[in-house]
Structure 1
Amino acid sequence: MFRFKHPILFAAFIAIFLFHCIQVTSEPDGDQHEFNYNRGSGKGPNRWSKIHEEWSVCGKGNMQSPIDLLDEKVEVFKHLGRLKKSYKPSNATLVNRGHDIMVKWEDGAGAIYVNGTKYILKQGHWHTPSEHTINGRSFALEAHLVHETNDKRRAVLAILYKIGQKDNFISQVADYLRDIANSKDEEKEVGVIDPRDVKLGSRKYYRYMGSLTAPPCTEGVIWTIVKKVRTVSREQLKLLWDAVHDGYEKNARPTQPSNDRIVALYRP
């Protein structure tokens, strides 16, 4: 690992962030009947760009997510500063989208701040196994907290998990997960859910510019991936598997080329 030594690269990193922060992204995730994660099918990740013209960026985009976070390509970038977030409890709905399970906060549940811009927390969902990898290593689970500005710019906070102790946040919604198992598009009000129970466990994080990881794969998404890998129990992982439709137990898009993108690491 090395420090950010080059002023030109520093300026380029800021320029990329500013450029993408003015882009508006479209809604994530196509209809779950139209795509899947089976590489051998006609609807798998290698075919997403062929299914709809508006999904073409899934194949031709040069800033796609997820990526492998390689130590030798990461720049230590202290100027990013500590992740600023102000979450709050809020009424939520649990939605089985067929290809994943989503916790949707009805009125937002606080926000994170990136480059001085406020991104409101809208929803969270899970991917198994993890979509991002670290030095080629995949993990059992990845949670995505999706934030938006009023004009639909997006910033996603991702947390990786390995098998171990139970995760407190998943424990909050465990009973509801059983209720909506294998019921596509079923929504269940779950009362107040506190996103502050999503523990990060570290101030260190990676950041880069990427895309949505499901169709339409829209680019211009700011990704923040917590460096510390947290734990989830085998029982909780099975609960998430059982809740989605058959064939979506593994719903992780393969890693995409980094194309020499700058990947920053904030390390206090």
Structure 2
Amino acid sequence: MKKLSFHALFCTFLCAFLLVSWRAMSQEVEDQKEFDYNEEGKRGPSHWGDLKREWHSCKAGLMQSPIDLLHERVRIVPHFTNLKTEYKPCNATLKNRGHDIMLKWGEGAGYMEVNGTRYFLKQFHWHSPSEHTINGRRFALEAHLVHQSPTGSVAVIGVLYKIGRPDYFLSKMEEHLEEVSDTQEDKAIDLADPSQLEMLSSLYYRYIGSLTVPPCSQNVLWTIVRKIRTVSPEQVKLLRVAVHDDSDTNARPLQPLNDRKIQLRVKS
């Protein structure tokens, strides 16, 4: 019985350790000091996988993001009803991570639900130009809504923007963005409403990929909204100016599809 108890205890400890380690590995890097987006430098995207052992997936992973959502690769799935979002106003913190601007939500900001699994909203951040492309076309901006399930699984909703009318959510954030551009301090925001991102659409791309920054953890469930939103040139510029780096972009280059399936799901 003692051996059995020890074995059971060891297995429990090992499973807990692996789960905690996986969760830690799945989180995006909060600080850009150790990587950048300069393709000609030693810390650029093509070198991310060599900079740290735990970033090896950036180089060797076969399910990396972003990708081109090429029409010829897409399989249409009709009667799609398994995506649900439920967001509500919640306190948040605007943080300059050096490589991007992140809006980190407190508890209670809401969730997305896919096939019965709830992924709770953790943060927004923005990439310019867009990281994903559609049929080879790159857009001015891409927002990522990062969610996590209670077991540590990650799901991201991507929203693409072209130049046009100002985005409503970013218009409400402009004053705060200007403040974090001049300081290293985080900015607390009372009752920010994630539903104001206005991402509702009847068409969604769906595929399995990775985080687009180190550690490039895989098995991330990606949902890319097919409807293209608009953003003003000034808003895109403000997001770039606010970031504390010297890059003209914070978009990772496209990654190989490697025979992965891309679905265009129709929400009825």
Q: Which ranges of 4 or more aligned residues in structure 1 deviate by more than 6 Å?
A: none
**Structure 2 equivalent of residue 114 of structure 1:** 114
**Structure 2 equivalent of residue 66 of structure 1:** 66
**Structure 2 equivalent of residue 8 of structure 1:** none
**Structure 1 equivalent of residue 56 of structure 2:** 56
Measured against aligned partners, the alpha-carbon deviations of 1:184-223 in whole angstroms (never above 9, x if no partner) come to 4x21101110011011242100000000000000001000
**Structure 1 equivalent of residue 96 of structure 2:** 96
What secondary structure does 1:125 align onto?
A: strand
**Structure 2 equivalent of residue 175 of structure 1:** 175
CA distance in 1, matches of 2:79, 2:200: 21
CA distance in 1, matches of 2:215, 2:71: 29
Per the TM alignment, residue 82 of structure 1 is displaced from its structure 2 partner at its CA by 5.4
- C-alpha root-mean-square deviation of aligned residues, in Å? 1.4
Equivalent pairs counted in the alignment come to 245
Moved more, 134-143 or 99-108: 99-108
Check conservation: 1:64, 1:211, Cα contact below 8 A.
yes
Q: 1:89 to 1:119 in 2, by over 3 A?
A: same
CA distance in 2, matches of 1:44, 1:254: 10
CA distance in 2, matches of 1:108, 1:65: 28
Per the TM alignment, residue 26 of structure 1 is displaced from its structure 2 partner at its CA by 2.1
**Structure 1 equivalent of residue 16 of structure 2:** none
Q: 1:110 to 1:30 in 2, by over 3 A?
A: closer
Check conservation: 2:65, 2:254, Cα contact below 8 A.
yes
User: Taking every aligned residue pair, what percent have the same amino acid on both sides?
Assistant: 53
TM-score by length of 2: 0.88
Per the TM alignment, residue 234 of structure 1 is displaced from its structure 2 partner at its CA by 0.9
Measured against aligned partners, the alpha-carbon deviations of 1:71-106 in whole angstroms (never above 9, x if no partner) come to 010001125425311111101110011110011111
Where in structure 2 are the equivalents of 1:130-141 lying within 5 Å? 130-141=130-141
CA distance in 2, matches of 1:33, 1:182: 18
CA distance in 2, matches of 1:168, 1:234: 14
Check conservation: 2:92, 2:192, Cα contact below 8 A.
yes
**Structure 1 equivalent of residue 7 of structure 2:** none
Unpaired runs of 5+ residues, structure 2, are 1-21
**Structure 2 equivalent of residue 125 of structure 1:** 125
Per the TM alignment, residue 107 of structure 1 is displaced from its structure 2 partner at its CA by 1.2
What secondary structure does 1:62 align onto?
A: coil
Moved more, 126-135 or 241-250: 241-250
TM-score by length of 1: 0.88
Per the TM alignment, residue 182 of structure 1 is displaced from its structure 2 partner at its CA by 5.0
Per the TM alignment, residue 173 of structure 1 is displaced from its structure 2 partner at its CA by 1.2
Between structures 1 and 2, the one with greater helix share: 2
What secondary structure does 2:158 align onto?
A: strand
Check conservation: 1:201, 1:230, Cα contact below 8 A.
no
Unpaired runs of 5+ residues, structure 1, are 1-22
Per the TM alignment, residue 246 of structure 1 is displaced from its structure 2 partner at its CA by 3.1
Check conservation: 1:46, 1:59, Cα contact below 8 A.
yes
| One-letter amino acid matched to 1:32 | Q
Check conservation: 1:30, 1:214, Cα contact below 8 A.
no
| One-letter amino acid matched to 1:260 | D
Measured against aligned partners, the alpha-carbon deviations of 1:109-144 in whole angstroms (never above 9, x if no partner) come to 110001210000111000000000001110000000
| One-letter amino acid matched to 1:107 | E
What secondary structure does 1:121 align onto?
A: strand
**Structure 2 equivalent of residue 216 of structure 1:** 215
Check conservation: 1:182, 1:244, Cα contact below 8 A.
no
**Structure 2 equivalent of residue 204 of structure 1:** 203
Higher Rg? 2
